[in-house]
Chain A
Amino acid sequence: MPLLEVTDLRTTFHTRSGVYRAVDGVSFSLAKGETLGLVGESGSGKSVTCYSLMGLVPQPPGRIESGTAMFDGVDLLHCAPAQLRAIRGKRIAMIFQDPMTSLNPYLRISEQLIEPLLIHEKISKADALARGLAMLEAVGINDAGNRLHAYPHEFSGGMRQRVMIAMALITPPEILIADEPTTALDVTVQAQILELIKKLQNELGMAVIFVTHDLGVVSGLCDRVQVMYAGRIVETADTRTLFHAPRHPYTKALQRSIPSLQPKGRELYTIPGLPPDLSKPIAGCAFAPRCEFSTDYCRRTDPKLAAVTPTQATACLRVQNSEI
């Protein structure tokens, strides 16, 4: 049985300019110890998917329109707030994309770091501080003892991001939701953080949902990858297959855009056009207007995610019909 089973999640935002379907029918499951990569277009609903699971979508303007997210017999989307609070931060922890806005500028690093411990465990403040210190060292903050009581603005961007990571891992969770956790880190510190996550996975069977734009990181860390476009999952496969045999035209285009795979000095390949307006109804495939393979049929018919091989599912009608 999967550790987490998400079915038909739909999250919308009701704003003056319309109803935005940020997440539009997302289903997936996550096994114990598994690392699931979540990649895709900026604005495609990756963060909102994570927030929805954590009960952190601001309501209003947000609204969970449908879906279930079963974790150990509890539906995260519909359970009582107290039940969710007991899970959040302890059994499921999240690292946020935006470290400065999720750290409180008026509280010392030390206070914020040990807060989850004080809430979820019976522990003295001194012991909690000692654990906090050890965790800061584990994420590579040098001279942690001297800097434990600093304020967030005294830390560099990458140091703040590592404080967020330390906060999420301090009470080792069963599921870690990491929303672009290493974007502000240089490659050597990033490698260190990824090792730390792998170590916790091996020791504790922690499962990870890893949201990132860095396909290099995905290829080293993830077991399986899901690609999102316009609020939906358009392709999912094991990591190897996704890199070597992507089928959905959007995944292929994404891969073509990776700078390290392109010659220097020339314009980089980019996907033409703009993503669709999520407040307007979309007829057919949302990617069709930008897709070099699209036909009239694609623009009329709503594609569903369907298996094309036992380990790969694609929401492209032409792939499903073996036309491309």
Chain B
Amino acid sequence: MPPPILQLNDVKTHFPVESGFFRRQQTGTVKAVDGVSLTVARGEVLGLVGESGCGKSTLARTILQLVPTTAGTVILEGKNLTAASSAEILAARHDLQMVFQDPFASLNPRMTIFATLAEPLIVHRVVPREKVAERVALLMAKVGLSPQFMEKYPHEFSGGQRQRIAIARALALEPKVIIADEPVSALDVSIQAQILNLLSQLCREMNLALIFIAHDLSVVKHISDRVAVMYLGKIVELGPAAEVIERPRHPYTRALVSAIPTPNPEIERAKKRLVLAGDPPSPLNPPAGCAFHPRCSYAQEKCKLSVPPLIPAGPNREAACLRLDEIADQSGET
């Protein structure tokens, strides 16, 4: 295997939590990311899925060093970003681009689309000045926006159009790694398909590595080579995308897969979901042992006692469940 372009070693990002209406005091710590190790190869698409609030966006922000890392290392092309100076981090961002979950908040409301896309091209001298307009038009065409929109401002666009501007901006610098946080969830299925095709093509042709955060598992399965499933700050399952989504091993992944809505009214209404028992856990006060055990239908005493490590679970697959082998053959449920 070629050396990975991006490598995370036991990364932790914790936030202090304050409460109280009048006088805010630190009352705890949110362990948003709590011991994540991962590698991403050149040209690889890694899907990242998991419950809302499990730490996906925080992991992305940690990789970009937008939040202070509590522990662990983030290594981009051999360079340790967690120990880098701010100048080095700025330089690294040329190669490492992010499409944020909230496109409106990440676009400057006072800049036209032309200015938004031209700025990185000019600052980083990607193309000579006289070629900037041409390149902006090309970027817009890539994400399916007609050049007639060039002089418009972000508020004049629909949600999906803004999302595509954000994607075009991430592509402007021809980075080596893109982290895309829910890049297609605001798009209609046709434009979604267009963006997915574009991202796949870029990964293939430019050897771009992509971390793709999404809730839509059918989209994740389509675009990703591998998928990582997160639960409460930790990776609980990792493996080839189609394998993990078609034959999930971790009980949490099983529940997730059973909740995928199908675009067919009969099937959708007749479907029995593995409804997760109990509430999502509190990241302030995570359950002892396996964080999933209070909601897991397979949980036993031992699951409350120790935190399960990621262990091999088939070819190129890993899962963090103490009962992995015992529940392997009980997968007949719908």
- Report the Cα distance A229→B187, complex, angstroms: 14
Residue-wise interface mask of A (171-214) relative to B, using a CB-CB cutoff of 8 A (1 in contact, 0 not): 00000000010011111111100000000000000000000011
Most interface-central of B28, B188, B217 (chain A CB within 10 A): B188
Q: Which residues of B contact A (CB under 8 A)?
A: 15, 17, 19-21, 24, 27-28, 49-53, 57-58, 101-102, 104-105, 144, 146, 148, 151-152, 156-161, 181-182, 185-194, 196-197, 200, 215-219, 221-222, 242, 255-256, 259-266, 268-269, 273, 275-276, 279-285
* Beta-carbon contact of B261 and A214 below 8 Å: yes
Asked if A27 is at the interface of the complex by the 8 Å CB criterion, the answer is no
Contacts of B268 on A, CB cut-off 8 Å?
216, 219-220
Residue-wise interface mask of A (12-32) relative to B, using a CB-CB cutoff of 8 A (1 in contact, 0 not): 010111000000000000000
* Beta-carbon contact of B193 and A274 below 8 Å: no
Which candidate, A64-72, A75-83, A252-260, A315-323, is the interface stretch facing chain B? A252-260
Contacts of A274 on B, CB cut-off 8 Å?
144, 146
> Which of A16, A188, A264 interacts with B221 by CB under 8 Å?
A264
Q: Which residues of A contact B (CB under 8 A)?
A: 13, 15-17, 39-44, 47, 97-101, 108, 110, 137, 140, 142-143, 146-147, 149-150, 154-159, 162, 180, 183-191, 213-220, 239-240, 243-244, 253-255, 257-262, 264, 267-271, 274, 277
- Report the Cα distance A162→B318, complex, angstroms: 32
Separation in Å of the B217 CB from the closest CB of chain A?
A: 7
Q: A15-B152, A149-B21, A158-B53 are in contact. Are A43 and B157 (CB under 8 A)?
A: yes
* Beta-carbon contact of B222 and A42 below 8 Å: no
- Report the Cα distance A260→B269, complex, angstroms: 17
Q: A13-B156, A184-B101, A259-B196 are in contact. Are A146 and B284 (CB under 8 A)?
A: yes
Extra contacts, 11 of them, besides A42-B161, A220-B269, A259-B218 (Cβ < 8 A), are A42-B159, A101-B105, A143-B283, A180-B159, A188-B51, A188-B256, A220-B268, A257-B189, A257-B193, A258-B189, A274-B146
Contacts of A99 on B, CB cut-off 8 Å?
102
- Report the Cα distance A139→B7, complex, angstroms: 36
Separation in Å of the B199 CB from the closest CB of chain A?
A: 11
* Beta-carbon contact of B265 and A243 below 8 Å: yes
* Beta-carbon contact of B105 and A100 below 8 Å: yes
Contacts of A40 on B, CB cut-off 8 Å?
188
- Report the Cα distance A15→B157, complex, angstroms: 12
Contacts of B264 on A, CB cut-off 8 Å?
219, 243
Contacts of B269 on A, CB cut-off 8 Å?
219-220
* Beta-carbon contact of B146 and A277 below 8 Å: yes
Contacts of A267 on B, CB cut-off 8 Å?
197, 200
> Which of B15, B159, B222, B265 interacts with A220 by CB under 8 Å?
B265
Contacts of B20 on A, CB cut-off 8 Å?
149
Q: A42-B187, A188-B51 are in contact. Are A268 and B222 (CB under 8 A)?
A: yes
Q: A214-B261, A219-B265 are in contact. Are A42 and B160 (CB under 8 A)?
A: yes
Separation in Å of the A274 CB from the closest CB of chain B?
A: 5
Q: A142-B282, A213-B188 are in contact. Are A277 and B265 (CB under 8 A)?
A: no
Most interface-central of A47, A137, A258 (chain B CB within 10 A): A258
* Beta-carbon contact of B189 and A98 below 8 Å: no
* Beta-carbon contact of B182 and A184 below 8 Å: yes
Q: A159-B52, A220-B261 are in contact. Are A268 and B215 (CB under 8 A)?
A: no
* Beta-carbon contact of A214 and B216 below 8 Å: yes
Contacts of A154 on B, CB cut-off 8 Å?
15, 17
Separation in Å of the B198 CB from the closest CB of chain A?
A: 10
* Beta-carbon contact of A213 and B265 below 8 Å: no
- Report the Cα distance A218→B191, complex, angstroms: 18
* Beta-carbon contact of B57 and A157 below 8 Å: yes
- Report the Cα distance A155→B101, complex, angstroms: 13
Chain A: which residue is nearest B159 at the CB level? A97
- Report the Cα distance A260→B20, complex, angstroms: 46
* Beta-carbon contact of A157 and B182 below 8 Å: yes
> Which of A108, A184, A239, A243 interacts with B52 by CB under 8 Å?
A184
- Report the Cα distance A215→B267, complex, angstroms: 13
Separation in Å of the B32 CB from the closest CB of chain A?
A: 8
- Report the Cα distance A1→B20, complex, angstroms: 49
* Beta-carbon contact of A260 and B187 below 8 Å: no
- Report the Cα distance A261→B259, complex, angstroms: 17
* Beta-carbon contact of A187 and B284 below 8 Å: no
- Report the Cα distance A150→B181, complex, angstroms: 23
Chain A: which residue is nearest B259 at the CB level? A187
> Can you name 21 A-B pairs with beta carbons within 8 Å?
A15-B156, A41-B190, A42-B188, A47-B158, A97-B186, A100-B102, A142-B281, A149-B24, A188-B51, A188-B259, A190-B259, A213-B186, A219-B263, A220-B268, A254-B189, A267-B197, A267-B200, A268-B196, A270-B191, A270-B193, A274-B146
Chain A: which residue is nearest B196 at the CB level? A268
- Report the Cα distance A254→B181, complex, angstroms: 24
- 3 closest residue pairs by CB, A with B: A42-B160, A158-B52, A216-B261
